[in-house]
């Protein structure tokens, strides 16, 4: 990034130091362009309507959020009914057992 205004090597426009490309032709400067064509501050004779306005930027302060004590506590899980607990146990045992039986059958009868 240039420390001073720089002159475009293609169209000759004097650009701001923070400009990534020429404001007239859009050409991106190379590092050599930035080193060789730096214009000193006193040589800027651009009309006022072509100059970029200088604006002050306010400091950003993020909002702080503090959760309520009621919403911060996690609700306790509801107890599972006996029937659902039994189905869950059967599913967790039957599915892997069925998969093992399938593998054994496919290995035994796969060679024929």
Residue 68 belongs to some domain of the structure: no
Residue 101 belongs to some domain of the structure: yes
Residue 60 belongs to some domain of the structure: no
Residue 92 belongs to some domain of the structure: yes
For residue 89, is pLDDT > 90? no
Per-residue pLDDT tens for 24-68? 888 887 777 666 656 555 545 555 555 566 677 788 888 887 777
Q: How many CB atoms lie within 10 A of CB 8?
A: 21
Q: Residue 3 is part of a domain; what is its CATH number?
A: 2.30.30
Question: How many angstroms from the chain centroid is the CA of residue 90?
Answer: 45
Q: Which structural domain, as residue segments, surrounds residue 31? A: 1-46
Residue 59 belongs to some domain of the structure: no
Per-residue pLDDT tens for 68-79? 766 556 667 777
Q: Are 17 and 1 in contact (CB under 8 A)?
A: yes
Residue 74 belongs to some domain of the structure: no
Query: For position 53, what pLDDT does the model report?
Result: 63
Query: For position 106, what pLDDT does the model report?
Result: 92
For residue 95, is pLDDT > 70? yes
Residue 28 belongs to some domain of the structure: yes
Higher pLDDT pick, 69 / 106 = 106
What DSSP letter does each residue of 3-23 carry, written as one string?
A: SS-EE-TTT--EE-TT-SS-T
CA distance 31 to 52: 23
CA-only gyration radius of the chain, Å: 36
């Amino acid at each position: 990034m240039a420390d001073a205004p720089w002159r475009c090597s293609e169209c000759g426009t004097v650009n701001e130091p923070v400009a990534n490309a020429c404001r007239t032709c859009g050409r991106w400067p190379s590092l050599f362009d930035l080193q060789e064509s730096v214009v000193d501050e006193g040589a800027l004779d651009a009309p006022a309507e072509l100059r970029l306005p200088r604006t002050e930027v306010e400091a950003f302060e993020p909002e702080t959020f503090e959760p309520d004590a009621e919403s911060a506590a996690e609700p306790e899980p509801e107890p599972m009914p006996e029937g659902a607990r039994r189905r869950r146990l059967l599913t967790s045992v039957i599915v892997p057992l069925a998969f093992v039986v399938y593998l054994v059958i496919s290995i035994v009868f796969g060679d024929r």
